[in-house]
Amino acid sequence: MNSSRVTRTLALAAACAMAVCLTACSSGDSGSEGEEGAAAMRASDEQVSTAMVVMQDGASVLFVDQQTQTPYYPTLPEGAVLNADGQPMANGDLAVGNIVEVTGNGIMLESYPGQYPGIYKVQVIEVGSPADADRYADLVESVGTGAALDPNEVPSGSLDYRTDLAVVTSLLEAYRSDFAADTPEGASDAVLAGTPFTDDGTLRDGVADARVEGPTEATVSFLATPVSVQVSRVEMGKTDGGQPTVDRTRLQATTQPVETTAGDGMPGAVAFTMEPGYFYFINATFDGGSADYGFACLTPGTN
């Protein structure tokens, strides 16, 4: 089965450090040891880069990586944006022309501009001025406020989780929505109608999947802030050929709600525990409409 996953396997040294950390965390008796282990695990995959703030319109912030000159939309975790003195500042207080140091997991979603949901910290290292960003004026004009921020277009989402040896981010595209855009045709390509399963219940090619050995914490977030997010799941079986499948005639009766909590990262992100052998449905409501996303949670090696 094809997958839209974007994965990055950590270097061997980082993987070994992570494995040691996991052993220490599982055997430790104190909360402080667990916190230290979690911090060490995160440090093993940290990537640090610098960027300039080139757009700040209150609804969206656009960065340009200063090494690659690539624009991207950053996820700005609440409380993790710091001013030049190292003090917490409101995300909206970032100003055009600021040079920031960005610390995260290094995984960029494949879109244009890219989306960086795995940011841990952003700190202003040079205040700069709006004039410093003038050289990116054409870029900002071409990007505008970003397609994902258009209230008539379906926002893309991301699924983030961690295995023993990798940090994984999967792009989630809606398979159904009631968004509508004002176009000559009366509707945009964002108006979707579909299902992640074929008529016989087999999982369609290209549907996102997660590959884990057992129960794993996952976070789903979106480029635009959702009004609400509901997660549910249905148990999957397998076809004779080993393909994941569901009984579509009993979907409504067998689908179970999944408990969620507030997730780190983008506002409106949700966290939950996923388990292999289930398909997870995510329904998100935005100001412009609602959309359905989903992914299959599988064990490594599943077709």
Q: At 105, which CATH number?
A: 2.40.50.140
Same domain as 127, residue 251: no
| Residue 176 within a domain | yes
Within-domain flag for 6: no
* 262 within a domain of the structure (yes/no): yes
Among 20-34, 70-84, 202-216, 240-254, the least confident range: 20-34
Judgement on whether residues 160 and 66 belong to the same structural domain of the protein: no
Residue 2 counted as domain residue: no
Residue 242 has which token pair?
């080993």
Cα–Cα distance list, 226 to 82, 101, 110, 174, 198 (Å): 25, 28, 21, 14, 28
249, 113: one domain: no
Which pLDDT score, from 0 to 100, does residue 150 have?
A: 61
Q: Judge if 196 and 79 occupy the same domain.
A: no
Same domain assignment for residues 183 and 127: no
Whether the pLDDT of residue 268 is over 90: the answer is no
Mean pLDDT is highest, among 154-168, 202-216, 254-268, for: 202-216
Mean pLDDT to the nearest integer, 38-62: 75
* pLDDT greater than 80 at residue 178: yes
For residue 58, the model assigns a pLDDT of 63
pLDDT given at position 251: 86
Asked whether residue 66 is assigned to any structural domain, the reply reads yes
Q: Please state the length of the chain.
A: 303
236 occurs within a structural domain: yes
Q: What are phi and psi of 208, to 5 degrees?
A: -60, 150
CA distance 130 to 44: 35
Average pLDDT over residues 81-105: 93
What's the token pair of residue 251? 């979907």
Angle (CA) 269-274-280 rounded to 5° is 75
250 and 231 together in one domain: yes
Shared domain for 141 and 159, answered yes or no, is no
Q: Which of 129, 148, 167 is a domain's end point?
A: 148
Mean pLDDT throughout 81-92?
91
Sign of the dihedral through C-alpha 113, 291, 256, 235 = negative
Do residue 157 and residue 104 come from a single domain?
Answer: no
How is residue 261 written in tokens?
């909590």
Residue 158 confidence class, pLDDT cut points 50, 70, 90: confident
Q: Chain-wide mean pLDDT for the chain?
A: 78
Residue 11 falls inside a structural domain:
no
Distance CA(171)–CA(95), nearest Å, equals 29
Q: Are residues 143 and 195 in the same domain?
A: no
Lowest-confidence region among 41-50, 117-126, 232-241, 279-288:
41-50
Of 148, 170, 194, the domain-final residue: 148
What residues form DSSP beta bridges with 293?
282
How far is Cα 160 from Cα 154, in angstroms, rounded to an integer? 19
| pLDDT band, very low/low/confident/very high, at 192 (cuts 50, 70, 90) | very low
In the chain, the number of structural domains is 2
The answer on 192 and 126 residing in a single domain is no
Range scoring the smallest mean pLDDT among 2-6, 18-22, 141-145, 265-269 = 18-22
Domain boundary among 148, 174, 205: 148
With 0-12 CB in 10 A as exposed, 13-18 as middle and 19+ as buried, what is 110? exposed
Joined tokens for residue 35: 């916190």
Quote the pLDDT of residue 35.
Answer: 43
Whose CA is closest to 6, among 139, 156, 151, 229? 156
SS (H, E, C) the chain: CCCCEEEEECCHHHHHHHHHHHHHHHHCCCHHHHHHHHHHHHHCCCEEEEEEEEEECCCCEEEEECCCCCEEEECCCCCCEECCCCCECCHHHCCCCCEEEEEECCCCECCCCEEECCEEEEEEEECCCHHHHHHHHHHHHHHCCCHHHCCCCCCCEEEEEECCCEEEEEEECCCEECCCCCCCCCCCCCCCCCCCECCCCEECCCCCEEECCCCEEEEEEECCCCCEEEEEEEECEECCCCCEECCHHHHHHHCEECCCEECCCCCCCEEEEECCCEEEEEEEEECCEEEEEEEEEECCCCC
Whether residues 122 and 242 share a domain: the answer is: no
Query: What is the extent of the structural domain holding 157?
Result: 151-298
Q: Are residues 160 and 201 in the same domain?
A: yes
Residue 35 lies in a domain: no
pLDDT tens for each residue of 213-238:
999 999 998 878 899 999 999 999 98
Burial of 55 (0-12, 13-18, 19+ CB in 10 A): buried
Distance CA 223, CA 261 (A): 18
